[in-house]
Amino acid sequence: MLDTAKIRADFPILERQENGRRLVYLDNAATSQKPRKVIDALVHYYHFHNANVHRGAYALAVEATDAYEAARTAVARFVNAWAREGVVFTRGTTESINLVAGSWGRANVGRGDTVVVTAMDHHSNIVPWQILCQEKGATLRMVEITKDGRIDLIDYARALETKPKLVAFPYVSNSLGTVNPAAQLSKLAHAAGAVTVVDGAQSSPHLRVDVQALDCDFYALSGHKMLAPMGSGALIARPALLEEMPPYHGGGEMIERVWDDRSSWNRIPHKFEGGTPNVEAAVGLAAAISYLETLGMENVAAHEQQLAQTAIERLSEIEGVNVYGPRDHRAGVVPFTYGDVHPHDLATILDRDGVCIRAGHHCTQPLMRRLGVAATARASFYIYNDVDDIDALVTAVRKAGELFGVPA
């Protein structure tokens, strides 16, 4: 287990008292808290290095550009990208996926083609493909899940028989915690002739990720779920694909030359970074990566899996609690329901004890329909959580049961 006492001291917000109790933050799948190191990096950037990037002829602008490009190198190393030119900074996973849909998708998907997603995908890995397919007259095929919350590999194989142009899936499900066999899924999709898009929003903060080992084509991540600022994120792609793709946003920075009626494009990745980028977000992301690398991603993963397992055991001792998702191959996400207490009520009651959880459909409405629930409560763990947090969670859930008269 990680040294959580030492880690907690790095997170100013965890000093906050909630109704006289310590803050028990268990909504990390929504967003993570930020360590002082990341917050300080933002302040330091604005105190000493701020200028616009890639265009200044003075030392300050060179420093800002160096900081921005050093962040790109850090991201490339963190996920073992094919090349640092294959790292496009975006606002996060959602924009990364929209970039692929809007650029690669619009250029390569046509009438009668198929795009495959899964029933456990987040709306951000469904809706961009719906929009693309509706625009192009293509078919969106949703792969079913098994009863225990895994991608149904039999249905996946059936979907691949349609020879889809593109297959998108999450590495880790935000609603179930399932860690999908991403390398295997990617291999099968490639064999069927598809390019693959991996939603890495929930894997990047929690697992050691190697996109070359996954052998996918596109990998999307969000910084804000991995200690970095909101609005930080990246699309990791095979450089050869990026070279062929048309631009996504037109504007400054992404061009080489502009004539009256046409333009030529900058080199990758800049071709996809029109406009002044969010430099401080990139700087903050690099600081977050440095923090995580010091801990070691294997240690992070082991810590969270241990917490999730303990939480599942402790919650399951409560009569009426139903935990969703597979028993193994899962990350630190624990979705559950409790008797007929609505998750929204559970979240309100837990909040009184300073326990922050998410309640709702978690931006996975197709999955919720398949689970046969309108909503679940979800506790999700990160590096600063410990067994005391699980105690607080379980105590508060029991309290909700007493208030609502759930039979014990």
Partner 1 sequence: MTDLTELYQQVILDHNRNPRNFKRLDSANRKAEGNNPLCGDRIHLYVQLDGDTIGDIGFQMPQGSGCAISKASASLMTEAVKGKPVGEAETMFQAFRDMLAGGTNAPGKLAAFSGVRAFPSRIKCANLGWHALHAALQNSGDPVTTESARDF
Binding residues for partner 1, per CB under 8 A? 19-20, 340-345, 348-349, 352, 359-361, 365, 368, 372-375, 403-405
CB of 175 to partner 1, least distance (A): 13
Known active-site residue 363: yes
CB of 1 to partner 1, least distance (A): 33
CB of 389 to partner 1, least distance (A): 20
Beta carbon nearer to partner 1, 297 or 397? 397
Beta carbon nearer to partner 1, 153 or 368? 368
Please name the residues in contact with 18: beta carbons below 8 A apart, sequence gap of 6 or more. 24, 351, 353, 354
Angle between helices 387-404 and 343-352 (to 10 degrees): 120
Q: How buried is 177 (Cβ within 10 angstroms: 0-12 exposed, 13-18 middle, 19+ buried)?
A: buried
Beta carbon nearer to partner 1, 8 or 123? 123
CB of 135 to partner 1, least distance (A): 24
Question: Which tokens in the block code for residue 144?
Answer: 């079913």
- Taken in order 171, 309, 144, 121, the sign of the CA dihedral is negative
Beta carbon nearer to partner 1, 109 or 396? 396
Please name the residues in contact with 217: beta carbons below 8 A apart, sequence gap of 6 or more. 186, 195, 196, 197, 237, 238, 241
> Within a 10 A sphere around the Cβ of 12, how many other Cβ atoms?
12
Using DSSP, state whether 25 is helix, strand or coil: strand
Beta carbon nearer to partner 1, 64 or 359? 359
Beta carbon nearer to partner 1, 57 or 408? 408
Question: Which tokens in the block code for residue 30?
Answer: 């929504």
Distance from C-alpha of 5 to C-alpha of 49, rounded to nearest angstrom: 33
In 45-166, alpha helices (H) = 59-78, 93-100, 106-108, 127-136, 153-160
Distance from C-alpha of 286 to C-alpha of 223, rounded to nearest angstrom: 9
CB of 397 to partner 1, least distance (A): 14
CB of 233 to partner 1, least distance (A): 23
Which residues are part of the catalytic machinery? 363
